[in-house]
Amino acid sequence: MAAIKELSKSLVQPFLAVVIGLLTGALVIAAVGESILGTYQEMWKGAFGSFYFLTSTLARATPIMLIALGLSLAFRAGVFNLGAEGQMVLGAVSAALVAIYLPAPGMIKIVAGIFAGMAVGGFWALLPGFMEARFRIPLLISTLLFNYIAVLFASYLVTEPFRDRSGSAALAQTVMLEKSAWLPKLFAGMSVHAGFLFAIVAALLLFWVLRFTPFGYEVKMLGQNSLFAQYGGINRIRVMLTGMFASGGLAGLAGTVEVMGAHYRFVDGALTVPGFAWTGLMAALLANSHPLGIIVTSILLAAFQTGAMGVERNTDVPLELASVIQAVLILFISAKFSYDWWKKRKAKGGESHGAL
């Protein structure tokens, strides 16, 4: 019952934010001169109107969900990992190169590619964590800047040494993976692949770890009150580094499943242009970093994106409608964090005056 109550509480905020976003979107639709109800019906159809559209939404939600789960673990430990984009891209290119050049059967290539993607993403996140622990370089800054290094380095790899020169020269990309190294589709002819199952299992596993293990308790204590947790004997640096590695590993897995289940090669810009990392950040914040809530918010945000494509196809409302709604969600999240910060500061001020 406590778990259900906690999940329900974590979903109140995202649904309130979505309502506000849809009301703002209605203003945009009215300004264009289209029917508000008709436009939202087209958005629903584009996201869930048929089994094909449903599976497309779930496929879109897969990398968003994995990234959001990784970020939620870091946030719950009281650290800010803003480097999911770089961790995702480096994990993706590593998985692609391993799956392409490893001389092994297809199943071995799949397993090795998944482990390589998660390991590289994890170690790329671990490096800023080490810099924070050793040199006091803020994670908020280092993880953000590491995105540029990772994305540009991956771009170099597929532009020069590992570029596919047998096909079109217009795209910087690796050669295609062998079919035996592709992640299987969950349904024939549909876009959703086994990576979606990985994301669901990861959410359930993370929920269990955070709720029923000593490590989960340490993460919770550090996120709520780091000074009290350290006073109680919790090793902040160990938990922070473990959380960063796991966070980066999940981001690397997000890139890996996109490469091995959707694109079947690493294409420069294919993971950064859709904004998976930043949408994942939004999904984590909307769900208050609750693993089960992230399943809902990830599918919801993916539905906005796939639904907006249907709106653009069948109405005069532009695709940017989804961007407008997401921008409102970001403002809602920012307002909530600002209010919480102001409330905590006011409470501390009251305690200081009371002590005087």
Q: Could you please report the per-residue DSSP string of 256-278? A: HHHIIIIISS-BTTTTTTTTHHH
Report the pLDDT value the prediction gives residue 352, as an integer from 0 to 100: 45
Give the list of residues 6+ apart from residue 47 with CB closer than 8 angstroms, or none: 53, 54, 57, 302, 303, 304, 306, 307, 310
Averaged pLDDT in 10-residue chunks for the chain of 356 residues:
62 76 87 87 92 96 97 90 96 97 96 98 97 92 96 96 79 93 95 97 96 92 80 88 96 98 96 93 89 93 90 81 81 73 65 47
pLDDT of residue 347: 64
- pLDDT in the model for residue 22: 86
Element (H, E) at 330: helix 321-355
**Spans of all domains in the chain:** 62-293
Can you tell me the distance from the alpha carbon of 253 to that of 55, in angstroms, rounded to the nearest whole number?
Answer: 20
Q: Which two tokens stand for residue 168?
A: 């079109």
Q: Among 136, 110, 141, 142, which Cα is nearest to 124's?
A: 142
As a whole number of angstroms, the distance between CA 194 and CA 262 comes to 10
In terms of C-beta density within 10 A (0-12 exposed, 13-18 middle, 19 or more buried), how is residue 43 classed? buried
The answer to whether residues 195 and 257 touch, using CB atoms and an 8 Å cutoff, is yes
Is 304 within 8 Å of 64 (Cβ atoms)? no
Residue 288 has a pLDDT of 86
pLDDT (0 to 100) of residue 216: 92
Angle, vertex CA 21, rays to CA 33 and CA 293, nearest 5: 145
Q: Are 113 and 99 in contact (CB under 8 A)?
A: yes
pLDDT recorded at residue 263: 95
Cα separation, 335 vs 202, in Å, equals 30
Q: From CA 45, how far away is CA 230, in angstroms rounded?
A: 51
3-class DSSP state of 41: helix
**Residue-level pLDDT at 341:** 63
Round to whole Å and give the CA distance between 349 and 355.
10
CB 270 within 8 A of CB 109: no
Look at residue 4 in the predicted model and tell me its pLDDT.
66
If we measure between CA atoms, which residue out of 298, 262, 302 comes closest to residue 54?
302
Angle, CA 319 vertex, CA 316 and CA 323 arms, to 5°: 135
Q: Shortest CA distance to 161 belongs to which of 87, 91, 83, 101?
A: 101
Q: Find tokens 């990784």 and name the residue.
A: 70
* Angstrom distance (rounded) from CA 38 to CA 186: 32
